[in-house]
Structure 1
């Protein structure tokens, strides 16, 4: 509404449509009518998303194909602002309708509570993409202030701000410099810039998720975990069980499984995987770089499935464990090139120069670079502790916890970037 007040009607319209359709689905006993209401809800909601997010991209792509064949067709172009959070609340609302259709929950009769589910402010603009089965029951309960939840929520918020302003925004200064002139940098610089971006996007989105979950927790609500130390994953399959979990599980439940999942032939299973990841890439943005990014990750899934490569369960075998993590990290970083590049030509340039452009390492602002490394070291230390020691109940004493969070606050204030841009995932 701050950008375009009339856009508030979009989320209201989406809320009304999914509420009415789910209500009718719940009442109807005839399967054809139930399916008709479901399809209507899906088409209307994704139709709005298509117009605002994908219309110009698809018409431009079709125009380019026809133009190369010598056919000139004019498509009207709409200059529209992309409403903040439209992909997130659309997926959340449509997921609710599908859950009611599958009889996994009863329709919420209280319109206000359902509207709150669609527009719950902590996670409205960038997730986690919540499930009605988790959040709606919490809205039906009387919420009283809980001191322990408030403390836990505050801790999550502090950690989220550290991830955002100390790590993500510090690294953004460097990665933006590299990728804005990708053809002018050496191989080592592009490699470091890509590694920095891998942690930038993790801390940018993971930081937002932590803040959102913390805000909700202070108010007495539990949102689902969205990140679980993804760069400790040993395979691409495991990576997507740790990265943007709410979206990964959404695509699994509402795209991959309806396509047949793994209950079909191996060839069809691989097809289902590839299509799911292509759609996931397109969800992230109306650009071929995102589609290719999704396709690359889909190929990773297929190859690892064919080779039957699975994570090592023996953490004590340090060599195998580190080899798996390192290999997976390299693969994920390669795919991030397409995600970060401003265009396909920039992505191809980055890849080619990685192998063909020896030269000096560009550090840029030395102090800022050092601050980014300090933030990265703290991040890796925290994730390492959570991954290997937390579950073994090697928990620090209260005074150590207090010192830790005080230290985080000091780092935020001393080396944080407070004039950085918005969260990366706001654009999706």
Structure 2
């Protein structure tokens, strides 16, 4: 007893020394942080606490709270540090591998990691029960599944989680007291939880994996009378029928889900490829348009410029930034404005693909310049007018 008292007193002294050292360093960093964060009004500085100070402060906080809080120190823990630590911890625990690029697969992997973390916690709680061997085996399988869930092979993690769900049901049957398994209800109750394993398999795994899990479940259920001959066969028959019917439907559901997922992935990849091709085409034609000597422009249905090539600045004397958003008639000789309005109204009404017209422009310097303009209609996929291009 004397030895334990001495050891306890020594540990208390060490903890007290560590806490006092943490408090001393935290006080120094807090004073430095306050001076840098709230400088005097006349002083103009953008100084901030160094990254070294912030890192040291974070370590000291963790050390201080890990050895206990006495209540005699009132400095608050910075919100940004708490949020950063929580964000880093969450990302480290649940974020899938960067090799998983499809958004839906990343969501599945993230959800699987979360469920496996929860399952690991629940198994750790129940590990003190009588069925220690079952809890340990389940813990090992779930831990391995969690490791797979953080990689691009996350589907293997789902498969291991399915098998981990089967262990408690069979453990309850194998450890049941003699004389309890001859009752239909008592024998069927533990096995009924196996349906959760089939549902989980159909949600995450492929159809053939769901079929394999169904076959294994039925085979293991049929094999129970070998190790427990007194088990009620009526319960076995009912559970095999339940697993067969429900497993068949779940395999079909998994096949349909996988087909839809493949269609979505195929469409997504096609859209991404099309988007990349359109971007490349746009850059290629934009470079071609911007390097020709003729002026190319587009206006909306109200007559305002939506695009003007660089040659338009040379022609009109206006900067490109000024031309964008300017009304087209602002550049036209006032005596010709009504002529252009009537001309292009006729083109729109008659749905003429292309027209040509000569008219004078007024440049930014007030100079009159005659131009020849070829104008085409811009139509959307429903053949509705959305603008003009020249």
TM beyond 0.5: no
Which of the pair has more CA radius of gyration?
Answer: 2
* Richer in strand (by share): 2
Q: Which has the higher contact order (CA 8 A, sep 6+)?
A: 1
Q: TM-score, normalised by structure 2?
A: 0.20
TM-score when scaled to structure 1? Answer: 0.18
